[in-house]
Structure 1
């Protein structure tokens, strides 16, 4: 028997369990709020023990908001053909558009739910801000690899601007969705990017 099969099976089970915990946390946050929800309640809803919960997440907030996987994919896959900082920023923008997803993307319904929760849950907003700092640091390191000997300030600006436009786009798309709109998130992203360029000239 192939030794890879059990490992693959365990990996799939781990991902499935993680997703079930996340979905349980999201549902409970919607039903009763973040502060009123306990880890034990999330674990019970997901059908796991509290010990299993903490194998996957450090806190209940993290279970509900596990991270910006789409942007992480952009960062890890970033390959710019031109080392100029402006060209690297354009490469990030192009990759971000591809990662955004279209209106019929099934993952966007979860983004709608998260947008509504973030609007009313300060504890989740604090975690989101912390995650964004980590994303910006990770992107900064990746950009530095791409641009070589350029000014570190330019590297920092590219990373911070890219994350800011990403965040602003999702926030705006969430507001539109919460209001009953169905705008394509890529179009929202392009609009936010265009507005930034208009503002800074």
Structure 2
């Protein structure tokens, strides 16, 4: 190993993403990721529990951000509007479209990662529904609003990472919420 260089976590993430794209997720080892980053395997495990965590490291922070946005929405807000605040908060932190495209391509190519992504989305919905219930929203409205919000997010996100789409994620979320409103109003 050479002289110490800063941002080990960032370098590990960058190396992992490059190797996942070049070789595929399953064919990439932690040892290879660490070597590409100029670090040790031990350093990798100081920053990530396993190689999947490179792709899902921000999940906990995103969940906390979205739950806080729902909690902070005006008490008079309809459940779906409180959820919309959470979606907007998520859009504000998801700025790197190219990284999101690459991450999604890696996930789509691997059934284990697809399952992990679905678990992450289900956890987001559960956290949002929990906050809605604490705001006094009864069931099934709390769960329906949370699940609908995650569906809106997924649709908007897929549109956002589409290479031909130039709209920002917030605009696509608003459009998708409008489409959901139209569908539920029977228009």
Give the alignment's TM-score, normalised by structure 1: 0.75
Q: Which runs of 5+ in 1 are unaligned?
A: 1-12
Distance 2:37 2:49 in 1: 16
- Contact between 1:135 and 1:163, CA under 8 Å: does it hold in 2? yes
Would you say 1:184 and 2:168 are equivalent positions? yes
Determine the structure 2 residue equivalent to 1:10: none
1:199 and 2:174 matched: no
Task: Indicate the residue corresponding to 1:81 in structure 2.
Answer: 74
Match 1:160 to one of 104, 127, 147 = 147
Give CA-to-partner distance per residue, 1:140-164, whole Å, 9 cap, x none. Answer: 22222222xx423211112212122
Deviation at 1:101, TM superposition (A): 4.0
1:119 deviation in Å?
3.4
Which residue of the other structure, out of 140, 157, 160, is the alignment partner of 1:173?
160
Listed one character per residue, the Cα deviations across residues 13-72 of structure 1 (whole Å, up to 9, x for unaligned) are 7xx333322222111111111111111111222233222322332221221332445454
Q: Which runs of 5+ in 2 are unaligned?
A: 1-5
How many Å separate the matches in 1 of 2:28 and 2:114?
16
- What is the rounded CA distance, in whole Å, between the counterparts of 2:19 and 2:128 in structure 1? 32
For residues 79 and 14 of structure 2, the distance between their equivalents in structure 1, rounded to whole angstroms, comes to 35
Aligned length: 178
Kept after mapping to 1: 8 A contact 2:63/2:127: no
| Secondary structure in structure 2 of the residue aligned to 1:181 | coil
Question: Structure 2 vs 1, CA of residues 183 and 145 (structure 1 numbering), >3 Å: closer, same or farther?
Answer: same
